[in-house]
Amino acid sequence: MGKEKTYYYSDLLNDDFAGTHIKTICVDKDFPYLHKSVLWRGAAKVLYFGVAIPVIWIISKIYLGLKIENRKVIRNLSGKGFFLYGNHTREADAFVSPMVTFPQKSYVIAGADAVSLPELKNIVQMLGVIPIPTVFNGMKNFFEEVSKRCREGYGITIYPEAHIWPYYTKIRPFSDISFRYPVKENAPSVAMVVTYRKRSGLFRFLKKPGMTVTLSEPIYPDRNITEKAAQEKLRDCIFMEMTKIANSREQVEYIHYEYAPEKCK
């Protein structure tokens, strides 16, 4: 399988190859995180399980070629709130966590871009997106939403790399900021690593590689150190798990990434 193209990068932390150009809205203290309307919540349940999940299943199995390894980890966490940390390699990553946590609903922490299209804002929220505030006064409601979903026993997905690098086969460095949530809630975290394999069987004619998602065993915060130290330690543990999994798989390099800062100016 030949490489589709080459992307040149200069900054592992901040370069983004998503190719989206959305005008981001302001997510502040007035953003409706918690919807109390019975009608809204009922519509969300019908949309998620009655419409989205069947469509996502078809897309995941046929278009993405999704396979999930070590899924028993999620079954063993049933009824407990937990956090999934994944590498961000496609816009279609949004289809991965619902398949991993099914039959339980999945929530995803995402940038404000996810709710910035007015005609889709409610639908995106109904599908489980929790947007990160763009101003500080929105943080209280945001934290309350994350805490509520965790304590209700849901899985919450986070992409700590933040930026999308399509089909990237390594793990990029990331900060410890998103690890405050499991530390605050004393909840387990699971590394959720996407790797890319050559297609086989009925869909071997497809040019794009198939996605394999591998889950690590749960990692719990260290309660014997400060919260900040626990965040850093948890980040290090998740990063090591993600790197170990990514490096242990024979992957297809569909897009080649090359460090060339002079070409990025």
> What is the structure's pLDDT at 114?
81
Is the distance from CB of 253 to CB of 169 less than 8 angstroms?
yes
Q: Give the mean pLDDT of the chain.
A: 89
C-alpha neighbours within 13 Å on the C-beta side of residue 191? 23
> What is the structure's pLDDT at 3?
55
Q: Find the range with the poorest average confidence among 10-14, 19-23, 70-74, 135-139.
A: 19-23
Q: Which runs of E-coded beta strand occur in the chain?
A: 5-9, 67-69, 82-86, 106-110, 129-131, 155-158, 189-197, 210-215, 255-259
pLDDT digits (tens, 9 = 90+) for 164-203: 999 999 999 999 999 999 999 999 999 999 999 998 777 6
pTM confidence score: 0.91
Cα 6 to chain centroid distance, Å, stands at 24
Instruction: Determine how many CB atoms are found less than 10 A away from the CB of residue 157.
Output: 26
- CATH 3.40.1130 holds for 18-195+207-248: yes
pLDDT at residue 67 greater than cutoff 60: yes
pLDDT at residue 233 greater than cutoff 90: yes
Per cent of the chain over pLDDT 90 is: 62
